Chain A
Amino acid sequence: MSVVAIHGLTKTFPKGNVTALQNIELEIETGEFVSLIGPSGCGKSTLLRVIGDLIQPSTGTVDVNGKTAHQGRLDHDYGIVFQDSVLFDWRTVAKNISLPLEMLDWDRSKRKERVEEMLRLVELQGFGDHHPWQLSGGMQMRVAIARALAFEPPLLLMDEPFGALDEMTRERLNIELLEIWRRMASTVVFVTHSISEAVFLSTRVVVMSPRPGRIAGVVDVDLPQPRTVDTREDPHFFELVTAVRELLRGVGADEHGSVRAEESA
């Protein structure tokens, strides 16, 4: 069964009559790591928010775990990580991770146990009593990931989570994220504007084109698992990066882009 199934999705914003997404068809299977990539204005963040039922589609259907996206949200079927960590200043790291568990009315001892587990998972043992402002940007992002996964949602949505971090932190967190993904056996939808990040992380890269936002093409990433620092030096890695780059270049030229969009539709 698909974790995410999107059919005939169109989203227009009434303000200025903007078509953010047009005729999107996408199915994501359990255990996949799918990246959405494209220039700004291609609607990749909008698509993520539609899956999360934070934005309502104009037409088409979006199913999560075989239910409507709305029901999926009510059932806590996904965790989300934004570009900024969006941690609560007034809560400690441990309390921030425990936030969704409090929302789900877990009892105290169960919460405490899970928070400890999550701190171990993102390698922040001993930082539970710190406040967010005492952590570096990379550590804050790890707290945000721990928070998103604390209640073991089957789906993890990530909206350019590492976009604000420096390159080195970003590459280290990429490897950590894959490790977490393998251990939690969850499905990830990952929005990014970095080609190499998309290829390195994903099992599938969905390339999107702007105005209106469409799927311009899909690249299957058949690099072996688990991916390591060596993966980035694999010749096949460069081939795949080039493939994604070519697709993105096509997106710039209007004709080319629309042809591909019709192919995928």
Chain B
Amino acid sequence: MAQAGHAAAFRRETPARAFSRERVTGAGFRAGVIAVTLLALWGLWELYRFIWVETGWTWPFPVNGTTMPHVHTIFKAFDQQSRFDGPLLISVLLRAALFTGKEALVGFLMGASIGFVIAVGLVHSRLAQRAFLPYIVASQTIPMLAVAPMVVVWLQAGWLSVSVIAAYLTFFPVAINTLRGLQSADPRAHELLGTYAASRWKVLWHLRVPASLPYLFSALKVSATASVVGAIIGELPSSIEGGLGGAILNFNQYYSLVPQNLWATNLIAAALGIIFFLGVVILEKLVVRRAPVQTA
């Protein structure tokens, strides 16, 4: 008892250590949560299938091997040849994911950099904000399917044009959120730097940018997944076949014969998006130093 009390007091006194300890126990706990969630989703899918097949319900759609293949059928598809005499589906999809991943990563980096530069430009000029912000917003109201063919026409079909399409989706949340973040610093902190007669660049580098990081990272999380979607969509008008977009188009055509191939492709695409997302989360943990949110 006395020891437990001592430990509690110790934890209160050194928040940094208490924190890392919670993180360690938290990692195992979180892995468990993920596993249980996946199992539950699997169960729900199969339960739904079972009920609809047994009762013959047709609303909202009739359930059969084509509309909803078994989860195990989808996973088994990874281990089968995607076409006669071809390589295994999993190796086809992994190669496609790598290809699309490269396009998405380059697009993400381009878009994030452009978005950041736009935000830095706009934060220093109210006039520029008023002049350009409406068009930046308008750029996102144009459907991707209308922009993509034009990019292909300008840059010619290739992975770089796909990256540009991905960047087009990425830059917007970064620009808007970073702009907000650059303006988020405490006015007294600005006053403090004013007493040092700090230059605009010093204020930007030492105050605005660090203050903007939490905003930047929440935008990057949105953009990370958006860049994957952008890359997949961008592959369609470019007629690029080596990526996930090409695989989706291809397996879409054979859906009535082997629906599990399209489902398997979707799983890989989702996994790619999650990897991008996690990459940003890890980067954020390394970069952003903030007061921990009080939980107790």
Query: In the docked arrangement, what's the CA distance between A102 and B210, Å?
Result: 15
Q: Is A238 an interface position by the 8 A CB rule?
A: no
Query: In the docked arrangement, what's the CA distance between A102 and B81, Å?
Result: 62
Residues of chain A lying within 8 A (CB to CB) of residue B198: 103
Residues of chain A lying within 8 A (CB to CB) of residue B206: 88, 99, 102-103
Query: In the docked arrangement, what's the CA distance between A37 and B33, Å?
Result: 59
Per-residue CB proximity of B252-296 to A under 8 Å, as 1/0?
A: 000000000000000000000000000000000000111110000
Q: Is A54 an interface position by the 8 A CB rule?
A: yes
Residues of chain B lying within 8 A (CB to CB) of residue A84: 188
Residue B193 contacts which of A52, A78, A103, A104 (CB distance < 8 angstroms)? A103
Chain B residue with Cβ nearest A132:
B291
The answer to whether B191 touches A90 (Cβ under 8 A) is: no
Query: In the docked arrangement, what's the CA distance between A54 and B186, Å?
Result: 16
* B5 → chain A closest CB, angstroms: 22
The answer to whether B16 touches A134 (Cβ under 8 A) is: yes
The answer to whether B186 touches A86 (Cβ under 8 A) is: yes
Q: Report the count of interface residues on A (CB-CB < 8 A).
A: 23
Known contacts A84-B188, A131-B289, A134-B16; A52 and B195 CB within 8 A of each other: yes
Query: In the docked arrangement, what's the CA distance between A84 and B191, Å?
Result: 12
Query: In the docked arrangement, what's the CA distance between A234 and B207, Å?
Result: 46
The answer to whether B202 touches A90 (Cβ under 8 A) is: no
The answer to whether B196 touches A103 (Cβ under 8 A) is: yes
Known contacts A86-B189, A89-B289, A89-B290; A73 and B197 CB within 8 A of each other: yes
Known contacts A131-B291, A133-B291; A86 and B192 CB within 8 A of each other: yes
Q: Is A74 an interface position by the 8 A CB rule?
A: yes
Query: In the docked arrangement, what's the CA distance between A73 and B195, Å?
Result: 6
The answer to whether A80 touches B195 (Cβ under 8 A) is: yes
Residues of chain A lying within 8 A (CB to CB) of residue B15: 133-134
Q: Is A76 an interface position by the 8 A CB rule?
A: yes
Q: Is B213 an interface position by the 8 A CB rule?
A: yes
Known contacts A99-B206, A102-B206, A133-B292; A88 and B195 CB within 8 A of each other: no
Residues of chain B lying within 8 A (CB to CB) of residue A132: 291
* A161 → chain B closest CB, angstroms: 13
* A160 → chain B closest CB, angstroms: 13
* A118 → chain B closest CB, angstroms: 16
The answer to whether B197 touches A74 (Cβ under 8 A) is: yes
Query: In the docked arrangement, what's the CA distance between A100 and B207, Å?
Result: 12
Residues of A83-104 contacting chain B, CB below 8 A: 84, 86, 88-90, 99-100, 102-104
16 contacts between A and B (CB under 8 A): A54-B194, A74-B197, A76-B196, A80-B192, A82-B188, A82-B191, A86-B186, A90-B210, A90-B289, A100-B196, A102-B206, A103-B198, A131-B16, A131-B291, A133-B15, A133-B292
Contacts A54-B195, A82-B188, A90-B289 aside, 18 further interface pairs with beta carbons under 8 A come to A54-B191, A73-B194, A80-B195, A82-B192, A86-B186, A86-B192, A88-B189, A88-B207, A89-B291, A90-B213, A90-B288, A99-B206, A102-B206, A103-B196, A131-B16, A131-B289, A132-B291, A133-B292
Residues of A within 8 A of B (CB): 52, 54, 73-74, 76, 78-80, 82, 84, 86, 88-90, 99-100, 102-104, 131-134
Nearest 5 A/B pairs, CB to CB: A133-B291, A103-B196, A90-B210, A90-B289, A80-B195
